[in-house]
Structure 1
């Protein structure tokens, strides 16, 4: 696979077909956990690991899986990986795991994960499939981080609030106070704030795409072509 193909995979996953602000898949965890940057990135990293590994495994076994049972097999692979991530987070980052709650196990039914396994990994070699899963997960993680940052700053006036949940008590010193003596804006951290923030992100991406198109510059990865098997 050429460098142009990999550029297209990266561009599609991170920007062109971003899972959160273009495909609009997995909106339930996207909106629910993006109250802070830490929560969003925590779920995003778990999703990246599941997507990269599941894509690689699906690509590896695709030739031996009959078409009639491919979806149940893919779901089983994803479920095993999610269980491993779930248990690892519970063991090593229990405080963050408890905050994320049911949304870690629910990665099993995330449309992004199964969708990439079916649309890409089942038709392409192992390494490109792993890159595809990683980049789609990274695109979602970036959306979670930006949306979480917007809501946290407006809602609490801080950044990295709750980082001690992942790295221990000593990490509390890493919290950034963006707006001193801020009393908060409750709407930003409630569900309506998530919808408003996501709408602003979608509008911002569309504006950037239209601006590039108006300049006569196609919004695509340079010298990229569609990935092939």
Structure 2
């Protein structure tokens, strides 16, 4: 038995400001301060980064964090440039998500390495310093995650697959990988992929720029 699901996105005209350098970092910082479980401590936002400093530091321990938007250069231009096109941006995002589905159907390892989203995540991690933990902010529901009783338990979780591949490639040694993404319940999902620690908080930040709705149309036998 499966489900037919209809998803829709509503963009505010200031959506492009979300991806501009500095704006999404501030949003991540506010989310970290709201968190009680995944980010339970106090953090400092590093405003001066002229020498390649990280974005956030945990007070006391000095633990470093770097913020990332897992968008390709093309996707960034589709949102941020004067000639941007949000429809093409959505199509590009959907195409990337479909690539994972094609891999699951085929179980072809060569197809996995060619998944655009995985390639971009891997590239961003490889660029960073080895002592910096990474926080990826997705502006869309990268997986079907509807809360603590989520159906994600019964479907293939692309983020878990990506983490296992990163681990195999030696990119998670001595560092933690975090992801933040919205769901259709007006929540933000905070996850530490190393141990799949998960937290759901009210979305008071991304919904200002974009919101999502989901409707289950019917069941498929």
Structure possessing the higher relative contact order (Cα contacts under 8 Å, 6 or more residues apart):
1
Query: Higher helix fraction: Structure 1 or Structure 2?
Result: 1
TM-score by length of 1: 0.29
- Give the alignment's TM-score, normalised by structure 2: 0.30
More strand by proportion, 1 or 2?
2
- Whichever of the two has the greater Rg, that structure is 1
